[in-house]
Amino acid sequence: RRAGARPARLTVMAAASDIPIRLRPFGNYLLVRRISAGGMADVFRARVVGARGFSKNVAIKRIFPHLAESDRFVRMFADEARIASRLVHPNIVQIRELGEHRGVPFIAMEYVPGRDLYLVFQRLVELGERLPAPFAVRVAAEVARALEHAHAFRHHDQPHDIVHRDVSPRNVLISWGGEVKLADFGVARARDREEHTEHGLIKGKVRYMSPEAAAGRVLDRRSDLFSLGVVLAELLIMRPFRDGANDLEILASIRRGEVDCQRLAGVPGPLLPVVERALAAHPEKR
């Protein structure tokens, strides 16, 4: 960017994703629309209503009722809320409350009116358009700021050793006004988690894993940088960075540290060293 120039403004195009539901009470909230459903919980846009016409949108992440009977999943859910609630940063989705309604745990958090990066990417592909490189860089830079805050976080003057472990387009939210926010610390590693991942167990989305994550090794912040490098590469080349017949084939390729240099041909020259460094197979080279 030129000195003194205003940062590139990112405008998000609308794409249908919210799933309408019948407006219904949920504790102190009113559920308005279901936004998404994952492997562990579904997420709703909700509204909290107060005195004298006060009303505010929030997001409610509600664990699936059948998982609420599992102590392990409830501990994982509580870990997510506790870890993310300590991270106060403009590029991280803020946690408002960890609660329970009729025996089902939920997390109330900041509602980001907009779309996740995956939907933005898919919409651009449908339209045959590219995300301008300055916008791609801005998105990556703001996610990097969120990660820097999480990685450096200290609690009671002790390092928290947070690693997100799931940096991917689905977990990057972009508001209609262009704000970029990192979400979902559900599989994050931290020093004081109640529910720890078993050694060798793989978590996160395969296409965005680092070689050390794919091998089930102990991770540090550099694993998140690799995942962010994959996201940035995809935004610049406008296609998936990794292909394979199935997840196992992709996983094996990642473990071997393979990077298809031909896929980086669409990366603008000045950005190529940045992407290549983020995608280095050995963490010490990132």
- Residues 243-280 have pLDDT tens digits of 888 888 999 999 988 888 788 988 999 999 999 999 99
pLDDT at position 22 is: 62
pLDDT at position 180 is: 98
Flag whether pLDDT at 185 surpasses 50: yes
Two tokens, residue 96: 């408002």
Query: Active-site positions?
Result: 166
The percentage of the chain sitting over the pLDDT mark of 90, rounded to a whole number, equals 59
Flag whether pLDDT at 19 surpasses 70: no
Whether the Cβ atoms of residue 95 and residue 109 lie closer than 8 Å to each other: yes
Lowest mean pLDDT among 88-97, 178-187, 200-209: 200-209
Flag whether pLDDT at 205 surpasses 90: no
| 164 or 23, greater pLDDT | 164
Mean pLDDT of the chain: 86
* pTM across the whole model: 0.85
Which residues fall within 8 angstroms of residue 201, CB to CB, at 6 or more apart? 216
pLDDT at position 227 is: 97
Tell me how far CA of residue 43 lies from CA of 33, 67, 76, 127, in angstroms: 9, 15, 16, 28
**Where does the pLDDT of residue 200 fall: very low under 50, low under 70, confident under 90, or very high at 90 and above?**
very low
